[in-house]
Chains A and B, each alone.
Chain A
């Protein structure tokens, strides 16, 4: 069923690295305004799937459609420009630059073109406002001038999300946004994601089950590159197949992680 609400649709998506099929024949639909979490054990292909969606990897087979655009072989920059932002599992920032500068470059990407050579970039109010707002949302606004390399790991994770927000994406691909954060920061970021989820679409790879149950509407379980199960959170929690794959066969009875 293809509802009007489908913002992103992938069909038969596969990615092989030599003999290894990291992602195998995955078909999923992502609804507008829905938080869709993807879980699975290590090596399940979650990050590979995110990399395919963001254009960092090219699929071996299958197709990706976003709001009527065919993104199957689109470049990362085109995908970003169409309104899909992403954050990385492994912190991916400009370590030598200040927090503000990191977000400024992100924010500036929303200008029609950055092939501008005359006026100093910092004079652009629009770009600056977006950058400052992103830092505020991620609780970094008290350290705008700090060099990113000097931040704690958790703060770098916050900056990672801030950079994505500074591009004002409509669809966000979040690859383990909470990994490495202290519980206090994680709570703040969960609050932020909840807030974002009201207006935007989130695709979330995460290990923290509490966080997932707090914000996710839809849940997809991946194992060995294939989709084991997809559905609403409550459906998945009680799925027999998921229990077996995720918790091992000895575990029995109860719903997953209640």
Chain B
């Protein structure tokens, strides 16, 4: 169940304020890095809905990220001028359709079988793009332009500007965060969090659990497609590696590192992992060994992710919260 305590909200608002102010003093390199972090955070949050709140562990979530990105590249990559209002719906629809197809089949299974099916589907899509000459195979696709944000003839934002893109991504990340909080607190969220804990009981209470799992899968896939769209628009370059199972695994690591079932955990996980990947290579050529060691230490000592630090700092004993009986 989603519980965001007061100290966490204070921390989140503080972090938001800092992020809003960052471009005023931050170096361009770090503005771009933060944009990347926020895109990864959106991607990881979408996976949190699936893994942390519905209890479905997917090892193919990068498929939707990649399909969102490829939709942008395929339909708009060759045009030197195109609108966000056209591109965004196309990318979201593409990812959603893929999620519907994969979801319809894989949601019937659970546990290890679900993991294997999502992995297999993601690899199918990966090899499709990898082998298809039409989409440049593993050379990938370069985008000619960035989406235009216009209202009539009035330009609202210039996404070619790195700082503007930074705020654009920040806005979407906050929106996705609030959207997920909303649906998790709504009746739908009550059902999926119940499924996460005890699916059989939820079914015997009268819920068609498959349907709720499917809808959760499609929402998660669509939001991953949104992250993929942002990544493609930001970097202007799309390759099949976006869909590879390394990506699916890496985003799972971000999520577990940050903390499952928290929604802010994925953001923290993205910050930690990207900053480590940025900082560690300066120390040694064998930085990946260091990174692996740090991940193991975090999982060992903070099994609920880095975000559980807040609970450790502001300890609240849930088991003695109410009066002892009798």
Contact = CB atoms under 8 A, between A and B. Distances in A.
Interface of A: 54-56, 75-77, 80-81, 86, 92-97, 101, 104-106, 108-111, 114-122, 124, 142-143, 145-147, 149-150, 152, 155, 163, 167
A192 B185 CA distance: 33
9 contacts: A56-B204, A77-B209, A92-B201, A93-B201, A109-B205, A119-B186, A145-B322, A146-B321, A147-B319
Given A77-B209, A97-B1, A167-B205, A92 B187 contact: no
B206 interface: yes
B319 A114 contact: no
B286 to A, nearest CB: 41
Nearest to A80: B206
Interface string B289-326: 00000000000000000000000000000110111010
A120 B185 contact: yes
Contacts of B215: 115
Interface stretch (B38-46, B155-163, B189-197): B189-197
B325 A115 contact: no
B204 A76 contact: yes
A123 to B, nearest CB: 9
A108 B197 contact: no
Given A77-B209, A92-B198, A116 B188 contact: yes
B200 interface: yes
Contacts of A146: 321-322
Interface in B172-213: 182-183, 185-191, 194, 197-198, 200-209, 211-212
A95 B212 CA distance: 21
A121 to B, nearest CB: 4
A214 B224 CA distance: 59
Nearest to B208: A77
Contacts of B194: 94, 97, 105
B203 A108 contact: no
Nearest to A118: B186
Interface of B: 1, 182-183, 185-191, 194, 197-198, 200-209, 211-212, 215, 318-319, 321-323, 325
Given A108-B190, A145-B321, A150-B319, A121 B185 contact: yes
Nearest to A113: B187
Determine the main DSSP class of A at the interface with B.
Answer: loop
B200 A110 contact: no
B213 to A, nearest CB: 12
B190 A105 contact: yes
A111 to B, nearest CB: 7
5 tightest A-B CB contacts, nearest first: A80-B206, A109-B206, A114-B187, A116-B187, A120-B185
A105 B188 contact: no
Contacts of B319: 147, 149-150
A54 B187 contact: no
Nearest to A120: B185
Given A96-B197, A120-B185, A143 B325 contact: yes
Contact of A105 (B183, B191, B208): B191
B205 A105 contact: yes
Contacts of A117: 182-183, 186, 188
B253 to A, nearest CB: 24
Nearest to A96: B197
A105 B1 CA distance: 12
B255 to A, nearest CB: 19
Nearest to A150: B319
A49 to B, nearest CB: 16
B322 A143 contact: yes
A126 B274 CA distance: 46
Nearest to B190: A121
A63 B261 CA distance: 43
Given A56-B200, A146-B321, 9 more contacts: A93-B198, A94-B201, A95-B197, A105-B202, A108-B190, A110-B206, A115-B187, A117-B182, A121-B187
B111 to A, nearest CB: 19
Nearest to B211: A115
Contacts of B186: 116-121
Contacts of A152: 325
- Among A56, A121, A147, which residue has the most Cβ atoms of chain B within 10 A? A121
- Among A108, A114, A119, which residue has the most Cβ atoms of chain B within 10 A? A114
A129 B186 CA distance: 17
Contacts of B321: 145-147
Contacts of B207: 77, 109, 114
